Structures are given as structure tokens and as C-alpha cells.
Amino acid sequence: MSSLVQPRLVNDPFSDPALFVDFRFGRRAILFDLGDVAPLTSRELGRVTHAFVSHRHMDHFAGFDRLLHARLYRPGRLCLAGPDGFIRGVTAKIDAYTWNLLDESSPNFEILASEFVEGQIRKSVLFRSQEKFAPRPHDAPEGLPAGLLLQDPEFRIECVALDHGTPCLAFALQETLRVNVWTAGLDELRLSVGPWLNAAKRAVRSGASDDMEIEAGPGRRVRLGRVRDKALQVAPGQRIAYVTDARFTPANVASILDLARNADHLFIEAAFLEEDEGVAAERLHLTARQAGELARRAGARRFTVFHHSPRYLDRREALLKEADRAFRGEPPAAV
């Protein structure tokens, strides 16, 4: 099954969270959260076009510096988004450094920082390396529907704010359509596998006309409709959801279920064991049981728990088991 993106947690579930969403056939990647991103190579960080930060607790934002460092001398725009106060946070981080060596001749690198408040992006600021990162007001994206952080022909990023004592954003990547190749169909058309197929898939995902002509190898032009009918299989796009740092309240539960509904893969925090439910409530986090139950109720096909409290460093299995039993609808194991 060929998917547009492959998500992976950057490090072990006791480390500061970051989910690396790698686009399989493109030179781009997205990050959900900027915790400890040290395990990512500078090449991987260099591909990041967007980083969505759930909230500004240090364990979710401290990796900003490393990302900035990796991107600084590569031309292009890095888009960042976070909750209310995020622009102030980005500005403060940029202000921590001296930029006297940057000028008009520096590689044209930009940071666009946006705040998602009350269901949409309300404010954006642009920082350009060639201007020593002096902040400039920037128009919020036009025509972006409420609840979205990004809309691309091939996918969109949905967002919802959860209550964690402070607004904490949860994200979902929804692929527009999933397009798989059927090699027997390619044989029938006497076409061979090649990079042209990515262009064909992209065209299908973005709703291009059947009459569009595709270059299917040297000197071979073929109608998109013909390739699609014979050699491509189109299915609903995959959905990946990322939920972290949320207290277990009815409002949060409703928002999480909406966001994670029928997700192909839900990444969800499981900070505490159910036996420490009181501590979880006090610290405004989910337990493993709650995480598994939410994954089940949302109808997620697969889920991964992360962001475990270090108090369970030698009890990771217990967290996994508890979440898994709840996911399967089984009662908690007797202690």
C-alpha cells in the first residue's frame, strides 16, 4: 500500500515529543511538535516545510533551535504554527541570538509564524534572514476554512484546541485521496514504473481532468484517465492524528473523538497509568487507559502511545498493556 506520508515518532516515548511526517515521494516533511528533535539528521530537518507546535511547554518547543540551525542557510520558507502567544514565543527565541552576520546576500530563508486561536489562524508574522529576522506583520492565509492550518491539493492539516490548563493544539493530516498503482494494469498499457507515476498520482489526487496528458517515459504520452482506469486504484486518503497533553474532560473527549475519527494511525499521549489517575488529572494529562479507550471510541485502525512520565521508565510494558486492553474493549487487568 503506497501512502503519501509516513509518520514516525522521532524518539522513544519517554523523550520530549515530536512526530516526523515524511512525504514519501517529495522533498518535504512536516513536524508535529518540536520536542527533542536531535535524532533527526540535518538532511531530514532541512526538508521540514511546516512545524505545528501543540503548546509552548518546554518539552514541546525546545527543539526549535535545532530546527532553526538546520534550516538557516537553506533558502525557502519554514512555516510554524501554534496556539495563542506562539508568535511572542518564536520572536523571543529568535531574539536570543545575534544576527549581525546576516544581510541581503544571505540565503533567502524565511520563517512564517502563525497563531491558531478560536478555530482559525488569526495572526501571522514573517521573519526574513536577509532582514536579520526583524518581524513583519503578514496577512493571515486567505480563504483557509476554519479548523484548518494548511490546505494543499494533496492533503490538509486539521487542528483543534484542547484544554491543558493552557490551549494545546491537536492535529490531523488528512490525505485527499489515496492512489495505489496496479502493476498488471501498467503492463497492459505497456508502461513501466518510473518517477512519472508520482506526477500521475499527484494529478489524480488534485482532481486533474481525465484528458490531461501525462509523459509516461521517453516519447510516451498517455491520457490521465486511461492510466487511472487501468493502472491506478483510488481510495479514501489516509488520516493521521496527533493528540498530546490533554486533561480528560468531556469537552476534550468530544474534540479528540472528532479529530481522531476513523484515523488510520492515531498518536496519543499516555502520560500516566490508570492507578495514578489522580496525578494525571492534576497534571492535566491522559492515562494509558483513557488513551486506549479514546482510540477505540474514535474507531482508529491503529494507535501508538507516547509521552510517558519518567516515573514508569521500568514499567513501559504496563503502559502499553493498559492502553491496548482499553483499545480492545477489555476490562483493566487485575493488579
The footprint of Zn ion (CB under 5 A) covers 57, 59, 245
CB-side neighbour CA atoms (13 Å) of 262? 5
Note whether 327 and 296 are within 8 A (CB): yes
Residues 6 or more apart in contact with residue 64 via CB below 8 angstroms? 34, 90, 93
CB nearer to Zn ion: give 59 or 293.
59
Which of 108/249 has CB closer to Zn ion? Answer: 249
Instruction: Identify which of residues 59 and 264 has a Cβ nearer to Zn ion in the complex.
Output: 59
Shortest distance (Å) from residue 15 CB to Zn ion: 11
Report the nearest approach of Zn ion to the CB of residue 141 (Å): 27
Which residue's C-beta sits nearest to Zn ion? 57
Sequence-ordered alpha helix ranges (H) in 206-311: 224-231, 250-260, 277-283, 288-298
Q: Which residues pair with 123 in a beta bridge?
A: 115
Calpha distance 23→37 (Å, rounded): 18
Shorter beta-carbon distance to Zn ion: residue 245 or 264: 245
CB of 4 to Zn ion, least distance (A): 28
Minimum separation from the CB atom of position 275 to Zn ion (A) = 20
Which of 115/245 has CB closer to Zn ion?
A: 245
Least distance to Zn ion, CB of residue 60, Å = 6
Q: Do 268 and 303 contact (CB within 8 A), yes or no? A: yes
CA quadruple 32, 23, 70, 41: dihedral, nearest 10:
100
DSSP annotation of 58 reads H
